[in-house]
Amino acid sequence: MKLLPLFLRKAIEAVYERRLAATLVGPPRSQHVGIMVDGNRRWARKAGHTDVREGYRAGGAKVTTFLGWCTAGRGGLKVDVAVGYGGRREITSGEQRLSGFRLWQSAYAEMHRVDCYWPAFRHVDFLRALRSYADRERRFGK
């Protein structure tokens, strides 16, 4: 796809995103969505920023955008934001784990991981996560 001109690539991506969104109409819907906003500094470095705070700014802006995706067309929706931070989060190993993220609430939770840093997370990534959830057979540990 990268060989295509940017305007054509954007048009194809927009059509794909609309079709993907159309498949998500109706149940099953997730009652809760939790996110781990990881990779802000690494994103900033990869993007060529000398000041890693640019990654945090971009990550903060993405949170606002993400909340817009979650609440669009859903009047009266309640949004709870839980923020936790400890020095242990600064230690990275490349492993995929919850690292203390809502441990009690994660029993029987359906996980979906995306291979990108938080500031680079796109609407299509969110739609793919919702599709992944909708396609699963929930067994609740059975």
Phi then psi for 35, rounded to 5 degrees? -130, 145
**Among 102, 125, 100, which residue's Cα sits nearest to residue 112?**
125
Helix (H, G, I), strand (E, B) or coil at 112: coil
**Among 93, 95, 79, 99, which residue's Cα sits nearest to residue 37?**
99
Instruction: Return all residues near 91 (Cβ < 8 A) that are at least 6 apart.
Output: none
pLDDT digits (tens, 9 = 90+) for 87-128: 565 566 666 656 666 666 677 777 778 889 999 999 999 999
Integer Cα distance of 95 and 25 in angstroms: 34
pLDDT band at 4; cut points 50, 70, 90:
confident
